[in-house]
Structure 1
Amino acid sequence: MLFWIITGVIAFVAAALLAVALVRGRTGAEAPAAYDLRVYRDQLKEVERDLARGVINAEDAERTKAEISRRILAADAQVQAGGETGGQPEGLGRGLAIVLGMALVAGSVGLYWSLGAPGYGDLGLKHRIDLAKDAHDTRPNQAEAEAQMPPGNPMGEPPANYVELVEKLRKAVADRPGDLQGYQLLARNEAALGNFQQAYQAQQRVLSIKGDAAAAQDYIDYADLMILAAGGYVSPEAETALLAALSREPRNGAARYYMGLMLIQTGRPDQAFRAWDRLLREGPADAPWIQPIRAQIEDAAMRAGVEYALPPEPGLKGPSQEDMQAAGEMSAEDRQEMIRGMVSQLADRLATDGGTPDEWARLISAYGVLGELDKARSIWNEAQMVFKDRPDALETVRAGAQRAGLQ
């Protein structure tokens, strides 16, 4: 209430000063016609001096004095009619004062209502940081986030024969609780079916079997599946997995991207922007986290109060920001079709122009996620021929084959 009282008084005072200036007009100041009158009288005296010096004759002097006298009479009439306001219509001044005063007050309130935050107190930096910490500490856990997810499979209905194969795999690993490869395969196939909860539970079993030997990527996969199960929300459990990955590999790009996403969700866009800006500059341009960062970093910068221009996208083009926004508005079936289209474009380009080992690995992995294992295997076989003389490149592609469950 105090805020509105103060702003109301300020707006009223400003409107009152403006109204006084408009109503009183030019009170106390010399009217333009009065200045003209003084000039004409000086001119009349100058004509008398020119006549006395013989510069002009008597006939020209009389004609000039007559014209100047006419102007003096007209200017004097204007001065008399203008009064203290210099001729400004009083009614017009009052009307304009009322209109501008109302516009000033109403415009100020409307502008604040649009750009401000009515009802909120002053949020100092320390208070905002405290609020963000509280939001981080009290945010929903994984189970609570999953309970808010809409029913249905986000990946659409899978083929019946594929579901049958995965069901057999579930039964097989249930009888072999220490089967590492079996649980790894189950996690990938559950994810391909859109069963992200079952997928991260299988990945959790992978971590349990590996124990201290679990690598950063194992924890990244676990966190990634939990985040997918929660619709993009980074829960406390997913954060714990990300921190475990970073403790093993501090510069892991995927973990740093997801930590930035968590910071956005808990009210620290400033920290998220700094983390994503570093990741974007570090690259590589075809890293899987680059496009999601490009789609979100401008909003993070705006919320952090940072003037930021997104750098041009180098080299290989992935999904644009418009593609990411369009995908968010699609149904699960349309989104899946769009992904298949992008994968198909990448496959066509690699077949005609070739590409980097990372691109081959990403294509194989993408086919694995889509459940098209025959295509993934075909690409893997072709890649082995392409990179047979480059063992280091072949290892990069092999990682994609492993993610697709081919090895």
Structure 2
Amino acid sequence: MIFWTVTALIAFAAALLLAMIIIRAREQGEPAAAYDLRVYRQQLREVDKDLARGVIAEADADRIRTEISRRILAADAQLQKRKSGPSQPRALSLGFAIATALLITGGTLGLYWQLGAPGYADLGLQDRIRLAGERAENRPSQIEAEADVPAIQRPEVEEGYLKLVEQLRKTAGEREDDARGQALLAQHEANLGNFKAAYQAKTNYIRLAEGKVNARDFTELAELKIMAAGGYVSPEAQTDLQKARAIDPSHGPARYYWGLMLGQIGRPDLAYREWAATLRDGPADALWVKGIQGQIEEMAFRAGVEYRPITPGGTAPALPGPSAEDMAGASELSPEEQQEMIRGMVTRLSDRLATEGGSAEEWARLIGALSVLGETERARTVYDEARGAFEADAEALALLDTIAAQAGLAE
């Protein structure tokens, strides 16, 4: 109520000031009659000077004085009439002033009601971070999000293709242990816009692949869930993205959707940071780079960052993670060996941070990786240690708190 009172008073004061100016109708210029008076009086003085020098005769001087005096009287009459009479109708001025006051006051309050957030209190940085963490924990699930998505328009395809997909569904249903069949079914269901059926088939493929999956598989699974939810990154899709990032921290599509998720939970600052780093890593012709380029300026605006175009494929150093050769080798390992490989990389990162230190992003990555591996207590210990290392850095603490909230470590 205080806000509305103060806003109304400010708007009314501005409107009242403008109305007073309209009613009084002050003129900035000088009437022409005032200038004429000064000229005529100067002419009278010149006549006396000319008479004293003998330039004109006394009779001529009297005649000239009479004429000038007549003009002075006429100019003075015009000046007095200008001062005493209104320059514009008072009723019209009063009506226009009232209308202007109502327009300014009512328009100000109306615009705020439509564009502002009535009743929304001012929030400090720590409160916004806390709310973002709560939003991340309490946001709708995949099922809830799908229930709110309106029916999408299916793409038009040939009848023959529909029959082939129907046959594929039947075959995949009869061969539930055929990973290849599930992968094909996921692809073709997505082509038809059946994203829920597509991610269910992709889930079956990952289960049947016996651990021989990579970051791309988990990112595709997350992407299908996001498309089924109308562009919303659900907690289930976030878990898939965490698995993809744990396997390959540099995987571009996973980084794109991770930034999208951060923006949705109210952390555009972290989303912009993630997208900016992804753009610098490139490559310029990648689809996820095009997606980021179309949205990063708005994300920067939401984050309060002055956006400067970023050239994809720059030389910014990437955070430590498994190389392409490591990932190629991981796809050939058994599930137990692949899990051991991931644990080894996590352990090496943990040891390096403990002995040499590192950036807040590296600590956050370690916390996320440990939570994905199910080592919650160890992740909590690392989180506490990282907070101690960056206690003087507000941005680093914000990043760590958000990652901890997403990993379920926040108190």
Give TM-score scaled by structure 2 length. 0.61
Q: Figure out how many residues of one structure are paired with residues of the other and give that number.
A: 308
Tell whether 2:83 aligns with 1:80: no
In the alignment, which residue of structure 1 is the partner of 2:132? Answer: 132
CA distance in 2 between partners of 1:150 and 1:244 (Å): 29
CA distance in 2 between partners of 1:70 and 1:128 (Å): 80
Q: What is the aligned counterpart of 1:163 among 139, 163, 166?
A: 166
What amino acid does structure 2 have at the position aligned with 1:224? E
Alignment check: 8 A CA contact 2:276 2:310 kept: no
Q: Structure 1 stretch 40-49 or stretch 14-23: which is displaced more?
A: 14-23
CA distance in 1 between partners of 2:60 and 2:307 (Å): 74
Unmatched 5+ residue regions in structure 1? 315-407
Q: Cα gap change, 1:93/1:280 in structure 2, threshold over 3 Å: closer, same or farther?
A: same
Q: Structure 1 stretch 55-64 or stretch 99-108: which is displaced more?
A: 55-64
Alignment check: 8 A CA contact 1:25 1:86 kept: no
In the alignment, which residue of structure 1 is the partner of 2:186? Answer: 187
In the alignment, which residue of structure 2 is the partner of 1:223? Answer: 222
In the alignment, which residue of structure 2 is the partner of 1:323? Answer: none
Tell whether 2:213 aligns with 1:199: no
Give the C-alpha shift of residue 236 in structure 1: 0.5
CA distance in 2 between partners of 1:313 and 1:54 (Å): 93
Q: Cα gap change, 1:311/1:31 in structure 2, threshold over 3 Å: closer, same or farther?
A: same
Give the C-alpha shift of residue 103 in structure 1: 3.4
Alignment check: 8 A CA contact 1:132 1:266 kept: yes
CA distance in 2 between partners of 1:290 and 1:209 (Å): 32
Alignment check: 8 A CA contact 1:78 1:87 kept: no
In the alignment, which residue of structure 2 is the partner of 1:148? Answer: 148
What amino acid does structure 2 have at the position aligned with 1:134? E
Q: Deviation per CA, 1:319-378, whole angstroms, max 9, x where unpaired? A: xxxxxxxxxxxxxxxxxxxxxxxxxxxxxxxxxxxxxxxxxxxxxxxxxxxxxxxxxxxx
Tell whether 2:7 aligns with 1:7: yes
CA distance in 2 between partners of 1:90 and 1:57 (Å): 51
CA distance in 2 between partners of 1:133 and 1:268 (Å): 9
State the SS of the aligned residue for 2:173.
helix
Alignment check: 8 A CA contact 1:227 1:234 kept: yes
Q: Deviation per CA, 1:146-188, whole angstroms, max 9, x where unpaired? A: 333445784457521332134213312x2x3xx5445444433
In the alignment, which residue of structure 1 is the partner of 2:389? Answer: none
- 1:286-301 alignment runs, 5 A limit: 286-301=285-300
Give TM-score scaled by structure 1 length. 0.62
CA distance in 2 between partners of 1:66 and 1:307 (Å): 76
Give the C-alpha shift of residue 255 in structure 1: 0.7
In the alignment, which residue of structure 1 is the partner of 2:49? Answer: 49
Q: Which has the higher contact order (CA 8 A, sep 6+)?
A: 2
Alignment check: 8 A CA contact 2:289 2:312 kept: no
CA distance in 1 between partners of 2:102 and 2:56 (Å): 60
CA distance in 2 between partners of 1:104 and 1:162 (Å): 63
What amino acid does structure 2 have at the position aligned with 1:291? K
Q: Cα gap change, 1:222/1:89 in structure 2, threshold over 3 Å: closer, same or farther?
A: closer
RMSD (Å), alpha carbons: 3.8
Give the C-alpha shift of residue 310 in structure 1: 6.9
Q: Deviation per CA, 1:295-326, whole angstroms, max 9, x where unpaired? A: 43344344445565878999xxxxxxxxxxxx
Give the C-alpha shift of residue 142 in structure 1: 1.5
Unmatched 5+ residue regions in structure 2? 314-411
Give the C-alpha shift of residue 201 in structure 1: 3.0
Q: Cα gap change, 1:108/1:183 in structure 2, threshold over 3 Å: closer, same or farther?
A: closer
Q: Cα gap change, 1:41/1:253 in structure 2, threshold over 3 Å: closer, same or farther?
A: same
CA distance in 1 between partners of 2:284 and 2:60 (Å): 89
CA distance in 2 between partners of 1:63 and 1:277 (Å): 90
Q: Cα gap change, 1:61/1:147 in structure 2, threshold over 3 Å: closer, same or farther?
A: same
What amino acid does structure 1 have at the position aligned with 2:146? E
What amino acid does structure 1 have at the position aligned with 2:239? T
Q: Cα gap change, 1:126/1:193 in structure 2, threshold over 3 Å: closer, same or farther?
A: same
State the SS of the aligned residue for 2:287.
coil
What amino acid does structure 1 have at the position aligned with 2:190? A
User: Identity rate of aligned residues, in percent?
Assistant: 50
In the alignment, which residue of structure 2 is the partner of 1:16? Answer: 16
State the SS of the aligned residue for 1:286.
coil
In the alignment, which residue of structure 2 is the partner of 1:40? Answer: 40
